[in-house]
Structure 1
Amino acid sequence: MKATLTTVLLILFVVISIQDFKHRAIHAYLLVVIAIISILINYIEPLLSLYEIGKSITFLSCTSIGFMIYQTIKNKHLKNPIDTSIGLGDILFFVAITPLFQIHNYVLFFILGLFLSILLFMIVQKKRADTTIPLAGYLSLFLIVCFGLKLFNIVNPFFIEFN
């Protein structure tokens, strides 16, 4: 059952990558399904308590508030950064995957994922005219690579646990 859920999760990550790269948007139902599957994977073999998931969401909330404060100071007026600096789908993607990571691994994934997304965007931007970063798409690709490394027993990044 867990292997089936993990396979579906990987397929959803591929779909999100394709959608985000093509349209710079992702469907909300995909994020709902990812959240449900992530919770089910954690329910089948509990690795995280609700408290642990709450810590990850608190980290994400603090980071989002910090980003909003930064944008306010930078622009010299209060402005909602959603859809001008970061997409709502990107934020919801981070929320949907919280049940997959313990807090310290989530923070590491968050930082490394953002760094790799910027790096990939800078490389690809030279060939494209888009000025927006398909963050959820890049993070989905990053998760596919991480899950693939775990599946082939090469390395277990972020201590991802599934069978």
Structure 2
Amino acid sequence: MWYLKLILLIVFTLVLYQDFKSRLVYWFLYPIIGILAFAIQLHNLPLSIALTNLGFNLIFVVLILAVSMMYVRFRKLDFKNTIGIGDILFFLFIAGTFSIVSFLVLFVFSLLFSLILHLVLSNKKEQSTVPLAGYMSLFFGAVYAISFFWNDTFLYAY
């Protein structure tokens, strides 16, 4: 399974590079992330448990996006200017990565990591967009990289 993790790390790196450089990521990289991550999860879990994890994780992501959309409408902002389609695709396809609790914790911490990293790296003078999918792919890539050297069964525990 190490080769799937290695390919996944390469795809995460591509997303990070493209999103950080030009805020445009090839759309087909997101399904590749989803397929590889789900295949790694299937290696560790039975299909029924993996599908249950995917379902609950997708519900969580959709809830996050729905709350975000309600907030944007309440503030009378344009949803297209607040979150990109690439970020939404990343959220949806990353849902197949881990068990429910692990995903919830890692997803929230990846958002916090993205916020802190953007505050540290951003130039205060200019208002810029956030390469959210890139920052989150850096975080999830680090999680998978660490799993090369550490027993990763706790990420899939149910």
For residues 95 and 154 of structure 2, what CA distance do their matches in structure 1 show? 14
CA distance in 1 between counterparts of 2:31 and 2:133 reads 14
Q: Deviations over 1:10-57 (max 9, x none)?
A: 000000000000111211111111112122223333264312210100
Distance in 2 between residues matched to 1:123 and 1:20, nearest whole Å = 17
Equivalent of residue 122 in structure 2, options 125, 138, 141: 125
Where does structure 1 lack aligned partners over 5 or more consecutive residues?
none
Partners of 2:144 and 2:43 in 1: how far apart?
Answer: 18
Instruction: Summarize the alignment of residues 8-157 of structure 1 with structure 2, pairs less than 5 Å apart.
Output: 8-46=7-45, 48-75=49-76, 79=78, 81=79, 83-126=80-123, 129=126, 131-153=128-150
* Deviation sequence 1:119-141 (CA, Å, 0-9, x none): 11111112784611001110111
The count of corresponding residues between Structure 1 and Structure 2 is 154
1:6 to partner: Cα distance: 1.0
Runs of 4+ in 1 over 3 A off after TM superposition: 127-130, 158-161
Query: For the residues of structure 1 that align with 2:71 and 2:124, how far apart are their CA atoms?
Result: 30
Distance 1:14 1:116, change over 3 A: same
- The TM-score normalised by the length of structure 2 is 0.87
Over aligned residues, Cα RMSD in angstroms? Answer: 2.2
Conserved in 2, the CA contact under 8 Å of 1:147 and 1:160?
Answer: no
Distance 2:36 2:50 in 1: 16
- Which protein is richer in helix relative to its size? 2
Give the structure 1 partner of residue 4 of structure 2.
Answer: 5
Per the normalisation by structure 1, the TM-score is 0.84
2:25, 2:125 → 1: CA distance? 20
Percent of paired sites with the same residue: 30
Amino acid at match of 1:142: F
